[in-house]
Amino acid sequence: MEYYNHETAIIDEGCKIGDGTKIWHFSHIMSNCTIGQNCNIGQNVVISPEVILGNNVKVQNNVSIYTGVTCGDDVFLGPSMVFTNVTNPRSAVNRRGQYAKTHVGKGASIGANATIVCGHDIGEYAFIGAGAVVTKDVPAYALVVGNPAKQTGWMSEFGHKLKFSTSGEALCPESNQKYILVSGRVQKIS
């Protein structure tokens, strides 16, 4: 495999790292992680054991990705965002092996300083605003902001807020892709 890692990065044994991936200063990739092709792992990132990242995942500086997290292709993790992996942590109680799982769907973006409480999945192309605290599942294409995070709209695959007509259709202003809102869910129209 051909990937780049800065001399200060630490990569533990058993990791699989795809071609074209770059791992920057002071990052630690812990044992048995799988990182896809063409990923960018910023500086001071911690990726805990057995985390799985798809292809073309962008992890900005100071991000912590804990055991139990998986990310699909094309996910963006903003600066200093964090995942948790235990819902009721106590220093004196060992809960290893009780980690809740969290999946981030293809193309989703998580803003700077957001927190994703474990056990809550993020749908494809969802958009988590900066500083949001996610305490429940987020549907595909949803825009959520605040603490606790609340849905305020829908986003296109190109990251634009969708404006639905009375007939339930919307158009992405950048890609001209059409979307439809049916029964509280967004679908792309082929």
Query: Span 145-151, mean pLDDT?
Result: 98
Both 149 and 174 in a single domain? no
Which segment of 71-85, 92-106, 131-145, 147-161 scores lowest on mean pLDDT? 92-106
Q: Is the link from the previous residue into 148 a cis peptide, with omega within 30 of 0?
A: yes
Cβ neighbours of 16 (radius 10 Å): 11
State whether 168 and 139 are in the same domain. no
- Residue linked to tokens 């139990």: 68
Pair (168, 150) in one structural domain = no
pLDDT band at 98 (very low <50, low <70, confident <90, very high): confident
Give the bridge partners for 21, in sequence order: none
Contacts of 168 (CB under 8 A, 6+ apart): 180, 181, 182
The CATH number for 11's domain is 2.160.10.10
Are residues 28 and 114 located together in one domain of the fold?
Answer: yes
pLDDT in tens, 53-83: 999 999 999 999 999 999 999 999 999 999 9
- Shared-domain flag, residues 80 and 168: no
Position 1 scores a pLDDT of 62
Taking the C-alpha atoms of residue 123 and residue 79, their distance in angstroms, rounded to an integer, is 20
Amino acid at 44: N
pTM of the model: 0.95
* Residue 97 confidence class, pLDDT cut points 50, 70, 90: confident
Q: 165: which 2 tokens? A: 């007509």
pLDDT of 17-30, one tens digit each? 999 999 999 999 99
Q: How many domains does the chain have?
A: 2
Q: Are residues 108 and 187 in the same domain?
A: no
Following CA atoms 99, 104, 110, 116 in sequence, which dihedral angle do they give, to the nearest 10 degrees?
-20
Do 121 and 174 belong to one domain? no
In this structure, are 135 and 180 located in the same domain?
no
Residue 190's domain comprises 164-190
Same domain, 117 and 83: yes
